Structure 1
Amino acid sequence: MLTAIQTERSVSKPWLFALASLGSALEFYDFVVFVFLTGVVATVYFPPTMPLWSRQVQSYALFAVGYFARPLGGIVLAHLGDIRGRKSTFQLSVLLMAIPTLLIAVLPTYKTIGVAAPLILMFLRIVQGIAIGGEAPAGWVYVAEQADDRRRGLAVGLLTSGLTVGIFFGSVVTTLLNRFFTPLQIEQGFWRLPFALGGVFGLTTVFLRRWLSETPVFKDLRARNALAKGVPLRTILSSCGGAFVRAVLLTWMLTAAIVVLLLMSPTLFHSLFELPIRMIQTGNLLATAALCLSTIMFGAAYDRFGTKRVASISIALFVLSSYALYLCAGHHPQYFIGLYGIAGLLAGCIIVAPLEMVGLFPPALRITGFAASYNIAYAVCGGVAPLAVAALTHYSSLAASDYIAVASSMGLVAVLTSGKTAHLAH
């Protein structure tokens, strides 16, 4: 039987990045599959005497509670990452996601245990939120610290692609579920299949991450007895204010692409322009698939040409593509699917956000600074964006593109005013 050290040495860098990316994909699948099944959750976990709209609102509230728990998870797990190690946090986050997902797959419904059912479900969603709050920041820091300077963008791009693949996989699985089973069959129990699948995948990831090694950066900090003392978050807030603000602006740009372009726009395209649902779904899947590939492409480009140069051009093109998409949705819908794919492809430029954020904070406080700024900004911006865009669409059908333009501009400002953060100081 291999020792831990032998196991670590047997994993090459490409396999290490592949394992990290696969784990993140499965963890994000576990988290987002809930949103695709909120309609069923509203039916089976709330009283049938309750009005349908009320059940739907409470079902979405259960989804939202996971987002609200993200900052807590980011702070707690990041603290462990800076004190105990990157690898242990990376393993713990996926375990905290896998177990609740598997429990949701077997959780009794309201008909069986009454009001206890939605309360237990809420608790499981909170645990999932805590897990996802630590997964992305810990993952980005882990691969960035493992990578060589000349391949750091590619490593971060691979992990980001994994996160996006998880969203894409969740969409595909639930689409197949609706295609092969009737609504009644799904309601009677087949809705549990995606959660069971996610739970098994999650536990598999826990096993696979045993093969990951600790990062050289953390090993060096531990050897020099230079680990963070006290509460890392307190130090971040008192001495890294500028870095924190830049990280918030970069996260705002990232949320604009994910929340507005991929998650919110399908509803807007249908309500504003009355495009066929099938056309919208096809375009959205194409955009998501394109984003999965383009994060890797842009990561390699950042390594070769530098973040500032590539970000300046690519972010500008991404903003223009969002305007082209919304303009053609209203006037030339025959180009809609292709333009949605192009917008998704150019959205890959947003990996400059995690790539820059990793280098904004000193190594001893890196995960805490990253996770706190990222999760707080994601919770605020991700929550405000749908409300702001929905309100502004009453005045302009291009409100979503305007929002993307403003957020992306702020992210670009953060990139242009930062130092050489892509080259981490070990």
Structure 2
Amino acid sequence: MSIQGRISPAAATTAAPHRRRVLMASVAAQSIEFYDFLIYGTAASLILNSHFFPSVNPVAGVLASFATFAVGFAGRPAGAAIFGHFGDKIGRKPALLAALILMAVSSTLIGLLPTFSTIGVAAPILLVLLRICQGIAVGGQWGGSTLLSLEHAPAGRRGLFGAIPQMGVFVGMISGTLVFLLMTNVTTAQQFSSWGWRVPFLLTVVMFPVAYYIHRYIEETPEFRQVEAAAAEQGGKKRSSVVTVLRHPKQMLLVAFTYVSATISFYVIVTGMLDYATRDLHIGKGTMLTAVMLSMIAWALSTLLFAWLSDIIGRRAIFAGGVVLSGAWVFALFPLVETRSFPLILLGASVGQIGVGAMFGPGITMFNEMFPSGTRYSGASMGYQFANVIGGGLAPFIMVALLEGTHTTAAVSVYVAAASLVSVIAVSLIRIPKPDTASAAAEVSG
């Protein structure tokens, strides 16, 4: 069954200038997720261990600071449920605004947080709490920014419009890298330790004007308004979309298992491979960071290309092709890295990212098309974030454990390939129901 017709044609009434504003706002909102991912991960390895966990040995301090990084992933499903509930009940726009404000406040407060030497054990406790708030905010941002774009898309371009907000991943990672490079270059080591590390977090205040822009200039999505009108005509009271999804979890679980290959492959390339190459192969950090960042260009271009193609030839076939490519290419990835040749390292990372892009591109729209409008924010977001917990939160740790336990990258390759097999099976089970606004409204009405 073709999946292009799942989203209601109500979005066809949106004017082109407004669509452009929506796309810009969606990219800006999504970029903060990976800006946060990069600056917190960088700060955790450079500074947070000594400033917030100084009473333990250096290795344990690094592990403790990275544990707070993982806590952010754990908060994502909760954020997907909380903001998904309100996004399906009162609108995509207000839910996204609330998530953006929570992220801006949490990240800014981390930049202002006193260290262990000032307030003692309260410092790491507050850091963990703020990190949880960040994770909750990220869990709500993805669904809001994606649906804001997707449900404003013209007919025949939903795959592309669903993927464009994901360019925020590229923007966020590049921005985070540049900010940290700038601060390390314009400050002394003492200045960076004292206040320079705080600047990247404080710059998150730019989310406040982004939130105001969305509030002032972006309209609620046409499809949500259509479902609201249908629900009002029926006179029913909306029940929780989260409860509805959890009572019938098949679609949500299919999203999680389908997407798990993309998340594991992505984080093996951008974090696991970086650690393996620098720690075990003694390749320079600058070499690996350059290769990873350049491979993100291949990821961005392939994401848009395959999203565009998915509007023409269908989403499931392209997604499945990306899964197969990722599962097979990982057996070439590590041998290429082990050559210690920059061009071959870049080739390995870039082809791997093309496989991920073939999943990211059509996957975003496909996951949302699996749910009716009344449960879409909750269902797609929770499935997506569960996959991120398994892939983003656990994959780097599992990779290190496999390398330490087996002393061979073949075990990691088998791990990625096994995840790809799970995703191939899951995507083959996906069925996209036909759009029916009235039934979508009825599903969340009492």
Give the TM-score of the pair, scaled to structure 2.
0.86
Are 1:412 and 2:420 an aligned pair? no
The 1:379/1:207 distance shift into structure 2, 3 A limit, reads same
Are 1:310 and 2:346 an aligned pair? no
The whole-number CA distance in structure 1 between the counterparts of 2:354 and 2:175 is 17
The whole-number CA distance in structure 1 between the counterparts of 2:143 and 2:98 is 13
The whole-number CA distance in structure 2 between the counterparts of 1:131 and 1:364 is 21
Letter in 2 for 1:280: M
Is this contact kept in 1: 2:34–2:173, CA < 8 A? yes
Letter in 2 for 1:74: A
The 1:411/1:143 distance shift into structure 2, 3 A limit, reads farther
Q: Match of 1:43?
A: 50
Are 1:391 and 2:396 an aligned pair? no
Letter in 1 for 2:52: Y
From 63, 66, 77, give the equivalent of 2:69: 63
Is this contact kept in 2: 1:353–1:411, CA < 8 A? no
From 346, 362, 365, give the equivalent of 1:337: 346
Are 1:183 and 2:189 an aligned pair? yes
Is this contact kept in 2: 1:256–1:408, CA < 8 A? no
The whole-number CA distance in structure 2 between the counterparts of 1:261 and 1:24 is 21
Letter in 1 for 2:399: V
Is this contact kept in 2: 1:101–1:198, CA < 8 A? yes
The whole-number CA distance in structure 2 between the counterparts of 1:10 and 1:170 is 31
The whole-number CA distance in structure 1 between the counterparts of 2:400 and 2:237 is 43
Is this contact kept in 1: 2:21–2:218, CA < 8 A? no
The 1:425/1:389 distance shift into structure 2, 3 A limit, reads farther
Q: Deviations over 1:288-318 (max 9, x none)?
A: 2322332112211211222133234343333
Q: Deviations over 1:205-251 (max 9, x none)?
A: 11221222111121011111168733322221223x32122111123
The whole-number CA distance in structure 2 between the counterparts of 1:312 and 1:106 is 45
The whole-number CA distance in structure 1 between the counterparts of 2:250 and 2:119 is 51
Is this contact kept in 2: 1:102–1:198, CA < 8 A? yes
* Identity %, equivalent residues: 27
The whole-number CA distance in structure 2 between the counterparts of 1:331 and 1:58 is 33
The whole-number CA distance in structure 1 between the counterparts of 2:29 and 2:57 is 39
From 268, 284, 292, give the equivalent of 1:284: 292
Q: Match of 1:265?
A: 273
Displacement of 1:36 in angstroms is 0.7
The 1:94/1:224 distance shift into structure 2, 3 A limit, reads same
The whole-number CA distance in structure 2 between the counterparts of 1:332 and 1:326 is 10
Displacement of 1:72 in angstroms is 1.4
The 1:158/1:425 distance shift into structure 2, 3 A limit, reads farther
Is this contact kept in 1: 2:260–2:387, CA < 8 A? yes
Q: Match of 2:124?
A: 118
Q: What does residue range 176-325 of structure 1 map to in structure 2 within 5 Å?
A: 176-199=182-205, 201-210=206-215, 211-225=217-231, 229-239=238-248, 241-325=249-333
The 1:43/1:271 distance shift into structure 2, 3 A limit, reads closer
Q: What does residue range 73-152 of structure 1 map to in structure 2 within 5 Å?
A: 73-152=79-158
Displacement of 1:191 in angstroms is 0.7
The whole-number CA distance in structure 2 between the counterparts of 1:269 and 1:424 is 48
Is this contact kept in 2: 1:295–1:348, CA < 8 A? yes
The whole-number CA distance in structure 2 between the counterparts of 1:425 and 1:321 is 40
The answer for unaligned runs of 5 or more in structure 2 is 1-13, 438-446
Is this contact kept in 2: 1:325–1:340, CA < 8 A? yes
Instruction: Give the aligned length.
Output: 415
The whole-number CA distance in structure 1 between the counterparts of 2:279 and 2:409 is 10
Is this contact kept in 2: 1:168–1:289, CA < 8 A? no
Letter in 1 for 2:422: M
Is this contact kept in 2: 1:256–1:403, CA < 8 A? no
Is this contact kept in 1: 2:262–2:323, CA < 8 A? no
Q: Deviations over 1:175-228 (max 9, x none)?
A: 3333443332210111111111122x2112112212221111210111111687
The 1:317/1:46 distance shift into structure 2, 3 A limit, reads closer
Displacement of 1:10 in angstroms is 9.1
Letter in 2 for 1:355: T
Are 1:403 and 2:415 an aligned pair? yes
Give the TM-score of the pair, scaled to structure 1.
0.89
Q: Match of 2:166?
A: 160
Q: Deviations over 1:358-386 (max 9, x none)?
A: 01122111111112222233223433323
Displacement of 1:24 in angstroms is 1.2
The whole-number CA distance in structure 2 between the counterparts of 1:362 and 1:125 is 32
Letter in 1 for 2:113: L
Q: Deviations over 1:247-301 (max 9, x none)?
A: 1112312211332221221112234433232221111111123223321122112
Q: Deviations over 1:16-66 (max 9, x none)?
A: 11221122113431343111111311122234x432223222212222222
Is this contact kept in 1: 2:89–2:240, CA < 8 A? no
The whole-number CA distance in structure 1 between the counterparts of 2:154 and 2:169 is 21
The 1:179/1:294 distance shift into structure 2, 3 A limit, reads farther
Letter in 2 for 1:250: T
Letter in 2 for 1:184: Q
The whole-number CA distance in structure 2 between the counterparts of 1:27 and 1:244 is 22
Is this contact kept in 1: 2:22–2:148, CA < 8 A? no
The whole-number CA distance in structure 2 between the counterparts of 1:400 and 1:79 is 37
The answer for unaligned runs of 5 or more in structure 1 is 1-7
Q: Match of 1:30?
A: 36
Q: Deviations over 1:93-137 (max 9, x none)?
A: 111101111222222222222222222222211211110011112
Q: Secondary structure at the match of 1:230?
A: coil
Q: Match of 2:4?
A: none
Q: Deviations over 1:386-407 (max 9, x none)?
A: 3332233343313333333222
The whole-number CA distance in structure 2 between the counterparts of 1:151 and 1:330 is 41
Is this contact kept in 1: 2:260–2:390, CA < 8 A? no
